[in-house]
Amino acid sequence: MSTTTKLFLQVTACGALFALNTYAVSADPTRYGFGEPASANDLQDFVSSLPDGRDLPAGSGTISRGKQVYDEKCASCHGQKLEGGIGDRLIGGRGTLVNNDPKKAPVKTVESYWPYATTLFDYIKRAMPFYMPGSLTNDEVYSVTGYILSEANILNGDEPITATSLSKVAMPNRNGFIPDHRPDHFKPADKHPRLR
Amino acid sequence: MSILDPNSDAKNTLKIASLVEAEEAFLAKARTNANSVYFSQHPIEPAQPVKGEPAKGVDPLQRPHNRRHFLASVAVLASSSVAGRAIAQTAPSPDGKAPPGAVWRSVPEDATKIPGVAIGEDGGYGTRSQFETEVRWRFGTKTPLSSWSMTPLEHGVGIITPSGLHFERDHGGIATIDPATHRLFVHGMVKQPKKFSMSDVKRFPSISRILFIECSGNGLTEWSKPTLKTVQGTHGLVSTSEWTGVPLSTILNEVGVKSGAKWLLVEGGDSSVMTRSIPIDKAMKDCFLAYGQNGEAIRPEQGYPLRLIAPGYEGNTHIKWVRRIELSDKPFMTREETSKYTDLLPNGKAVQFSLIMDAKSVITRPSGEMTLSGPGFYEITGLAWSGRGRIKRVDVSTDGGRTWRSAGLQGPILPICQTRFRFPWVWDGKEAILQSRCVDETGYVQPTLGQLIEVRGLNGPIGSIYHLNAIQSWKVDTEGRVSNVHYY
């Protein structure tokens, strides 16, 4: 039997499976051979980092270089003191996350809320500066990441900022996240509802 | 107060204020529009049709083929002649401009007495009626390049959201991508990394499903007090479309998933290069890459040419403009899934990967800012949906939740899809509180806001921000005016 005929039969069988009106779509075992192999060259410019530092690109930066980059490229939106503006506030807010007062808001920043330093590199590299995303070199991104972490009193010193060092940074809210426990089980509703 | 004061939250306050402002601007316009559901509070003179012959120069038989030319000539007439003034009076917009998505045409006194518009005058792609004015309105962020817009649910009929009214959320503007040069890369823990052109993607066997997408931030203004006035404002970040594309399992099978791969990163090709991690079990079960929406190509603002559909998951995971998928053993912990789409509880812990949208319903008519014209019959109607399956039942209360009666459900009732409910009601002219409560096929019952707050707490004015799926209350006062209230 020729390859074409085999493929045709597989595809027909798979069509019959779909006709069962199931919404799970994992039943297709066919390989169609469409598309082309992606080369290392095709993939080299993509950035995506894991918290353990894998997939972060080569390069290194310093906090002092980071301040220059920040003042030039970031401060107009995030503020001279990283206090926020058009862009998010980046530092402060420690101790504000525990709160059940609807009149008092938690302050969620890189310093108080973000669990991984690698995320900061990843996000800046891909999506910042807002009006010129992807324009910073890896060294500039390592530097400005280091500067923000230093202003947040998380990092200091002259150690170069690299993939390895970022994966070792202990973020203050590293253990602040829990898995999804839903669906919730609700208590019976109030028998005497009223306007609130 | 210093901006570095840990108690200051200028940004969140600003967010809410600008939403209120955007809604007010919309309402101000809608209240003067005879075709708007918000019109009745401020009656104005009824519109007059055009008298006599069709205006010179716009004889339908001699209408210029060039539409721009035609529109320009009508605009001149509208501003200069008696007939023009009459035209303007029937226009939804007093300046004679058609609403977005429509073309302005003169309105004959009797459409049976002169021929209508020639086929093809629209260039081959239709428009909506010039009398229909509903639009998405945008949250007033400082830059429209990272913002969202809401679906006008109060105008909707049936369950499908018109593609042009599907809610929007993007973080770096709407990307313009030529499908001829677009590539989808799939790599990471796979046996053969591959790249696919859009024609490759479209050669695979396809599927279609009618599904809702809801932003998990839908209703974020409503946690601590009723804030926005209309259902578009309180619930407009949910929409339903028929999506067509290729199952992700087919694509993953094509590259060969390595054992140990547990998560995949899906990345958009817009300027925010949006990324989210999706569990591979979910990807294999029912995710697909959509290139079609409601029978045509997906709209640019919805991710043209390719969007991830993750049925029942929060809207942010439905990555638009998809250009890359990377497989890994662990989640990537991107900015959106750590610092943004996580639900902060009063104890300072935040729920992460709260991906599924729980069951929710809302009455869309009557709803906030409408006015009932007097005691008598009204059809209460609305939408119910659940990220966990089909809607099993919708109950409606007109007394604030003391008593409930089942609403009729319009079939087909599809899983992870909006379901239209209807409930006949005779208003006796007394104050009423209208509520709807849905149950999905897993037995999950939509909670009251009080029940939800007991579980989630109120960490700030916008609470835990995401996943507010509580029962909505609309108060009808003795004048028939409907308003957004908290009643539980």
Quick: pLDDT tens for B408-447. Answer: 999 999 999 999 999 999 999 999 999 999 999 999 999 9
Whether residue B223 and residue A102 make contact (CB cut-off 8 A), yes or no, is: yes
Q: What burial class does residue B359 get, using C-beta atoms within 10 Å of its C-beta: 0-12 exposed, 13-18 middle, 19+ buried?
A: buried
Residue A196 has pLDDT above 70, yes or no: yes
Residues of B in contact with A38 (CB under 8 A): 185-187, 193-195
**Average model confidence (pLDDT) across chain B:** 88
Q: Is A43 contained in some domain?
A: no
Question: Sorting pLDDT into bands at 50, 70 and 90, what band is B458?
Answer: very high
The span from the CA of B9 to the CA of B5, in Å, is 9
For B458-464, what is the mean pLDDT?
A: 95
3-state SS of chain B: helix, strand, coil percent to 5?
A: 20, 30, 50
Residue B71 has pLDDT above 90, yes or no: no
Q: Is B330 contained in some domain?
A: yes
The least confident of B40-44, B345-349, B426-430, B472-476 is: B40-44
B341 and B448 belong to one structural domain: no
For position B310, what pLDDT does the model report?
A: 98
Whether residue A196 and residue B488 make contact (CB cut-off 8 A), yes or no, is: yes
A68 and A21 belong to one structural domain: no
Q: Looking at the partner chain, which of A30, A105, A122 has a beta carbon nearest the beta carbon of B9?
A: A105
Residues of A in contact with B358 (CB under 8 A): 182-184
Percent of chain B with pLDDT over 90: 78
For position B263, what pLDDT does the model report?
A: 98
For B296-308, what is the mean pLDDT?
A: 98
B203 and B322 belong to one structural domain: yes
Task: Find all residues with CB under 8 Å of B21, minimum gap 6, and list them.
Answer: B140
The encoded tokens of residue B6 equal 């840990």
Q: Is B155 contained in some domain?
A: no
The span from the CA of B23 to the CA of B362, in Å, is 19
Nearest CA in chain B to A15: B205
Dump pLDDT digits (tens) for B25-70. Answer: 888 888 888 778 888 654 434 344 444 333 333 333 333 333 333 3
Residue B479 has pLDDT above 60, yes or no: yes
The span from the CA of A106 to the CA of B311, in Å, is 31
A103 and A158 belong to one structural domain: yes
For position A185, what pLDDT does the model report?
A: 87
Torsion, CA B183, CA B184, CA B187, CA B192, rounded to 10: -80
Residues of B in contact with A187 (CB under 8 A): 451, 454
**Which amino acid, one-letter code, is at B458?**
L
B180 and B292 belong to one structural domain: yes
Task: Find all residues with CB under 8 Å of B176, minimum gap 6, and list them.
Answer: B300
Q: Is B429 contained in some domain?
A: yes
B332 and B407 belong to one structural domain: no
Residues pairing with B240 in the sheet: B212
Residues of A in contact with B186 (CB under 8 A): 38
B62 compared with B13, residue with greater pLDDT: B13
Range of the domain at B387: 360-485
Which helix (H) or strand (E) element contains residue B448? none
Long-range contacts of B143-150 (CB under 8 A, 24+ apart): B143/A86, B143/A130, B145/A130, B145/B172, B145/B173, B146/A130, B146/B170, B146/B171, B146/B172, B146/B173, B146/B272, B148/B215, B148/B217, B148/B237, B150/B232, B150/B233, B150/B236, B150/B237
Q: Is A121 contained in some domain?
A: yes
Q: Which of B335, B309, B178 is nearest to A124 (CA)?
A: B335
Nearest CA in chain B to A113: B339
Question: Sorting pLDDT into bands at 50, 70 and 90, what band is A27?
Answer: low
Interface test with B, best of A45, A47, A56, A100 (most B CBs within 10 A): A100
Q: Looking at the partner chain, which of A25, A36, A95 has a beta carbon nearest the beta carbon of B249?
A: A25
Residues pairing with B437 in the sheet: B395
Q: Looking at the partner chain, which of A48, A105, A107 has a beta carbon nearest the beta carbon of B275?
A: A48
A25 and A68 belong to one structural domain: no
Which helix (H) or strand (E) element contains residue B409? strand B408-409
Percent of chain B with pLDDT over 70: 85
Dihedral (CA of A144, A147, A152, A157) sign: positive
Q: Is B463 contained in some domain?
A: yes
Q: Is A174 contained in some domain?
A: no
Q: Is B149 contained in some domain?
A: no
A81 and A160 belong to one structural domain: yes
Whether residue B285 and residue A181 make contact (CB cut-off 8 A), yes or no, is: no
A83 and A155 belong to one structural domain: yes
**Which amino acid, one-letter code, is at B323?**
R
Coil, strand, or helix at residue B245?
strand
Q: Is A28 contained in some domain?
A: yes
Does A127 contact chain B (CB < 8 Å)? yes
Q: Which of B132, B148, B176 is the last residue of a domain?
A: B132
Eight-class DSSP state of A189? P
Q: Looking at the partner chain, which of A37, A48, A93 has a beta carbon nearest the beta carbon of B6?
A: A93
Coil, strand, or helix at residue B74?
helix
For position B14, what pLDDT does the model report?
A: 60
Q: Looking at the partner chain, which of A34, A79, A92 has a beta carbon nearest the beta carbon of B203?
A: A34
B376 and B333 belong to one structural domain: no
A80 and A25 belong to one structural domain: no
Interface test with B, best of A12, A22, A28 (most B CBs within 10 A): A28
Q: Looking at the partner chain, which of B285, B442, B486 has a beta carbon nearest the beta carbon of A24?
A: B285
Q: Is A182 contained in some domain?
A: no
The span from the CA of B142 to the CA of B139, in Å, is 9
Q: Is B6 contained in some domain?
A: no
Residues pairing with B395 in the sheet: B406, B437
Q: Which of B321, B64, B310 is nearest to B168 (CA)?
A: B321
Whether residue A89 and residue B207 make contact (CB cut-off 8 A), yes or no, is: no
Residue A3 has pLDDT above 70, yes or no: no
Nearest CA in chain B to A93: B6
Per-residue 3-state assignment (H helix, E strand, C coil) for B199-239: HHHHHCCCEEEEEEEECCCCCHHHCCCCCCCCHHHHHCCEE
A10 and A87 belong to one structural domain: no
Give the minimum alpha-carbon distance from B283 to chain A in angstroms, rounded to a whole number.
Answer: 9
Please say whether the beta carbons of A64 and A157 come within 8 A: no
The least confident of A147-161, B136-150, B394-408, B413-427 is: B136-150
Whether residue A18 and residue B207 make contact (CB cut-off 8 A), yes or no, is: yes
Torsion, CA B25, CA B27, CA B33, CA B35, rounded to 10: 130
For B445-455, what is the mean pLDDT?
A: 96
Range of the domain at A8: 1-32
Q: Is A108 contained in some domain?
A: yes
For position A20, what pLDDT does the model report?
A: 43
B129 compared with A188, residue with greater pLDDT: B129
Whether residue B193 and residue A50 make contact (CB cut-off 8 A), yes or no, is: no
A79 and A13 belong to one structural domain: no
A76 and A152 belong to one structural domain: yes
Question: Sorting pLDDT into bands at 50, 70 and 90, what band is B361?
Answer: very high
Q: Looking at the partner chain, which of B145, B247, B460 has a beta carbon nearest the beta carbon of A102?
A: B460
Dump pLDDT digits (tens) for B236-291. Answer: 999 999 999 999 999 999 999 999 999 999 999 999 999 999 999 999 999 999 99
B254 and B307 belong to one structural domain: yes
Q: How many domains is chain B built from?
A: 3
Q: Would you tell me which residues 97-126 of chain A have a C-beta closer than 8 angstroms to some C-beta of chain B?
A: 97-108, 110, 113-116, 118-119, 122-123, 126
Does A87 contact chain B (CB < 8 Å)? no
B185 and B311 belong to one structural domain: yes
Q: Is B432 contained in some domain?
A: yes
For position B144, what pLDDT does the model report?
A: 85
Q: Would you tell me which residues 129-188 of chain A have a C-beta closer than 8 angstroms to some C-beta of chain B?
A: 130, 133-134, 176-184, 186-187
Residues of B in contact with A76 (CB under 8 A): none
Question: Sorting pLDDT into bands at 50, 70 and 90, what band is B398?
Answer: very high
Please say whether the beta carbons of B362 and B421 come within 8 A: no
For position A23, what pLDDT does the model report?
A: 55
E strand residue ranges, chain A: 36-37, 177-179
B334 and B388 belong to one structural domain: no
Q: Looking at the partner chain, which of B204, B224, B460 has a beta carbon nearest the beta carbon of A106?
A: B460
B378 and B481 belong to one structural domain: yes
For B68-89, what is the mean pLDDT?
A: 32
Whether residue A193 and residue B487 make contact (CB cut-off 8 A), yes or no, is: yes
For B110-139, what is the mean pLDDT?
A: 94
How many contacts (CB atoms, under 8 Å) link A and B?
A: 256
Interface test with A, best of B339, B442, B452 (most A CBs within 10 A): B339
Whether residue A127 and residue B171 make contact (CB cut-off 8 A), yes or no, is: yes
User: How do strand A177-179 and strand B350-352 relate by DSSP bridges?
Assistant: parallel
Nearest CA in chain A to B452: A186
The span from the CA of B448 to the CA of A193, in Å, is 10
Q: Is A76 contained in some domain?
A: yes
Cβ count near B62 (within 10 Å): 7
Residue B21 has pLDDT above 60, yes or no: yes
Q: Is A161 contained in some domain?
A: yes
Q: Which CATH number covers residue A149?
A: 1.10.760.10
Dump pLDDT digits (tens) for B177-191. Answer: 999 999 999 999 999
Distances (CA, A) of A183 to A180, B313, B318: 9, 13, 21
For position A186, what pLDDT does the model report?
A: 87
Does A41 contact chain B (CB < 8 Å)? no
Q: How many domains is chain A built from?
A: 2
Whether residue B350 and residue A31 make contact (CB cut-off 8 A), yes or no, is: no
Q: Is B410 contained in some domain?
A: yes
The least confident of A29-38, B74-83, B113-122, B378-387 is: B74-83
